Amino acid sequence: MKTRIALKVRAGANKTAFAGRFGDAWKLQVAAPPVDGKANEAIVRFLSKLAAVPANNIRIVTGAGASTKLIEIEGIDSGQLERAILESHGPRTHTGSSSPGES
């Protein structure tokens, strides 16, 4: 099984983490600088750990030199990947809800 994910990447961030949605894509902040492929390597390592698949199961389909990327991951379906991304955020704080205790 394979799934694809669109990313809008900001390299040089304080830490590598998802930062919400950007249209149909996920915003991903990457701690590595955008030089010599370091950000792309960091993205692959981060997604490998998140999806619990080997790094060689992840490839950048388009956008290797751009901030918008299409990534293909072998060994996880889209539902599992979506859950893993949402769980990486911790408690939801961007739902638009005004429930007590949410900020």
The CATH number that applies at residue 66 is 3.30.1200.10
Secondary structure class of 102 (helix, strand, coil): coil
How many domains are there within the chain? 1
Residue 85 lies in a domain: no
Eight-class DSSP state of 20? E
| Residue 90 domain flag | no
Q: Tell me, yes or no, whether 80 lies in a domain.
A: no
Question: What angle, rounded to 10 degrees, do the helices at 38-51 and 78-88 form?
Answer: 100
Share of the chain above pLDDT 70, in %: 86
Confidence band for 89, pLDDT divided at 50, 70 and 90: confident
Domain annotation covers residue 95: no
Q: Domain for residue 49, yes or no?
A: yes
- Can you give the residue range of the structural domain that contains 54? 2-72
Instruction: Write down the pTM of the prediction.
Output: 0.85
